[in-house]
Structure 1
Amino acid sequence: MITPKKMPSRRRSALALLLPAALIGALAACGAPEGSNPPTSTSPAPAAPTTAADPGPVPSAGLHLIDRDGRRLAFHVTPGTSPTIVLDAGGGEDSSSWDSLVPRLSRATGSRVITYDRAGMGASDEVPGAWDPQAAAGDLQAGLRELGVTRDVVLVSHSQAGEVTTYFTRANPGVLAGSVLVDANVPPFFTDDEVRRLVALTTPQIEELEKQPSTKANRQLIATADGFGPTHQAYHRVAWPDDVPVTYVVSEKTPFDGSPQDARRWRDAAAAFVGDGPRRTLVTARGSSHDIPRDAPAVVLEEVEKMTAAAR
């Protein structure tokens, strides 16, 4: 069994970039029973208590199972007005990772808030084969269209979901009013040298995972590693559309806490992404690890509120 404590720090960091949020749970529990997947948000989050400064309880989220080429995709919709806020979780996470932020966003903005489970996560069916961010973007597109959400979207993406958002934004002109990327994977980071290093650092862990009993979590880790090199070399060449405003929230510690050289490359890539086009803003989540939604939720809330207000 692989556990994080047994991994060298650089390999932990590299594997964290593949599926950062899954690292502790999936690797520490490899060989766990098939049914021991992370909890999903199929049940509505409890409403926060009402206070004098609180406008009241948040509407309950409803589960919508969308058919996509014979597969089920789980979308969770909290009613509200336009613009619609869509939250896309990091690698290895399902929609439940946003549960604490959904009621806060709904209350602060009055917007409809949508979370969803990417293929193979939560209540959504798996897709055999390697991770394909363009196919994942197609899943998101299909789900939003089925829900009637075709414009004025503020798309919020953490970590690996940055790849989905980039391809979605390019394939769906006019749909996004803006985006907030939360320590997300962006094209400038994935140079040929960086991709080769990441593949070399993570290959031993992936090979060990392949020897373990097959679980949903393990399969997603392996799928992300399968074809990682070509997938991210292609992603490195993708450009963000200039007409879509975007705020990039970078963590202070980055996914590579403990590896100063890699941490610097991550921060440099974020700065390069913001500098590569107009209408882009860089914000630093001070003191936060890569898991900004949990470490610094107020930063995410503030930036999404700003983007939503600008979209009205």
Structure 2
Amino acid sequence: MIFRILFVMLLVAGNVDAQRLDTLIKVSPYSLHVKILEGKGTPILFESGGGLDASQWDSIATVLHYQLQTTVITYDRAGFGKSTLDTTNYSILQEIKSLEAALTAFGYKNANFLLVGHSLGGFYNRVFAARHSGQVKGIVLLDPRIPSYEDMASARKYFQTLDRKDFEGGYINLYHLLANMEQTSNYVRQLPLPPGIPILNVMAETGPFLEAKENERFQTAQRNLVHANKNRKLVLAKGSSHNIPNDKPGLVIKLIGNFYRELKL
């Protein structure tokens, strides 16, 4: 499978240069690094996992662009990759507002979207969907974090073990992400997830935590999310760790592609 993906990427490299956008755009209070491969149909908007940047999606987005001939959009969230960080205005709501400003600047203000999010990226998918329920036609969640009181407690407990000085020298962005995690989870928890949006939840076989109890909580929350509505599906990524895009890129491409076609986007 990996050789097939590399072959497709070589084919794409010779065909999408005229449609490729890779730029830094100022959308107060951040400058966001955005990458767009333009195509037809409903765009796919990717959200990376916590602590990761848009490069997480490079191969996956490129292959999906080639296979579906659709627009794919990835970006570095505030403080990661090439995007800047404003600690005085740092919140998930402000991040989404800045993303909205960037999408508007590039002509996607009124576009429909298929959202894809890994881990913490699921929080951002939920906030965007709550604010644009009519434009979000589907969501693919890859081992997503689910907001809850239990998740808030887990975030608080973990942050209490950290020392800020350990994040100096290039990792202060991650510190602020973790420092705000409990508040972020609480904010997202209170947002309604529009029931009319179809969801494909891909759950990793191995959870992200060291404690079995925490992994069971993490997976139970995903199952409960899916069972809450008939238009939601659960798929187990057998043999995968929490980082499904890295462990199973071929599976991710297949599932997103099939879901996109199923929704007739």
Contact kept in structure 1, 2:126 and 2:188, CA below 8 Å: no
Determine whether 1:48 maps to 2:2: no
Residue 243 of structure 1: aligned partner:
196
| Structure with higher RCO (Cα < 8 A, 6+ apart) | 1
Q: CA deviation at 1:156?
A: 0.7
Which whole-Å deviations, capped at 9, do the CAs of 1:132-169 have from their partners, x for residues lacking one?
22222212222212111222211111111111110111
Which whole-Å deviations, capped at 9, do the CAs of 1:235-264 have from their partners, x for residues lacking one?
3333310121111111010212x4221111
Q: CA deviation at 1:265?
A: 0.9
Q: CA deviation at 1:194?
A: 4.3
Contact kept in structure 2, 1:67 and 1:73, CA below 8 Å: yes
Tell me: CA distance 1:299–1:129, structure 2 relative to 1, closer, same or farther (3 Å): farther
Which whole-Å deviations, capped at 9, do the CAs of 1:216-249 have from their partners, x for residues lacking one?
4x21221122243333233333331012111111
Unaligned runs of 5+ in 1: 1-44
Within the candidate set 192, 195, 200, 2:157 is matched to 200
Residue 224 of structure 1: aligned partner:
177
Q: Secondary structure at the match of 2:234?
A: strand
Q: Secondary structure at the match of 1:162?
A: helix
Tell me: CA distance 1:228–1:184, structure 2 relative to 1, closer, same or farther (3 Å): same
Work out the CA distance in 2 between the residues paired with 1:82 and 1:219. 39
Q: Secondary structure at the match of 2:187?
A: helix
Q: Secondary structure at the match of 2:256?
A: helix
Counting aligned pairs with the same residue, the percent is: 25
TM-score, with normalisation over the residues of structure 1? 0.75
Q: CA deviation at 1:287?
A: 0.9
Give the number of equivalent residue pairs.
256
Work out the CA distance in 2 between the residues paired with 1:147 and 1:65. 12
AA aligned to 1:211 is K
Unaligned runs of 5+ in 2: 1-5
Residue 159 of structure 1: aligned partner:
119
Work out the CA distance in 2 between the residues paired with 1:300 and 1:272. 22
RMSD: 2.3
Q: CA deviation at 1:294?
A: 0.7
Q: CA deviation at 1:47?
A: 7.0
Which whole-Å deviations, capped at 9, do the CAs of 1:264-311 have from their partners, x for residues lacking one?
111110011111224111111111001000101122112211232124
Determine whether 1:175 maps to 2:135: yes
Determine whether 1:277 maps to 2:229: yes
Tell me: CA distance 1:112–1:231, structure 2 relative to 1, closer, same or farther (3 Å): closer
Work out the CA distance in 2 between the residues paired with 1:168 and 1:277. 19
Contact kept in structure 2, 1:251 and 1:292, CA below 8 Å: yes
Residue 215 of structure 1: aligned partner:
169
Work out the CA distance in 2 between the residues paired with 1:147 and 1:267. 37
Structure 1 runs of 4+ aligned residues shifted over 3 Å read 55-58
Residue 297 of structure 1: aligned partner:
249
Contact kept in structure 2, 1:152 and 1:311, CA below 8 Å: no
Matches within 5 A, 1:183-198: 183-187=143-147, 190-191=148-149, 193-198=150-155
AA aligned to 2:160 is T
Tell me: CA distance 1:103–1:227, structure 2 relative to 1, closer, same or farther (3 Å): closer
Contact kept in structure 2, 1:196 and 1:229, CA below 8 Å: yes
AA aligned to 2:218 is W
Q: Secondary structure at the match of 1:99?
A: helix
Q: CA deviation at 1:124?
A: 1.2
Residue 22 of structure 2: aligned partner:
63
TM-score, with normalisation over the residues of structure 2? 0.88
Determine whether 1:263 maps to 2:220: no
AA aligned to 1:224 is L
Work out the CA distance in 1 between the residues paired with 2:66 and 2:201. 23
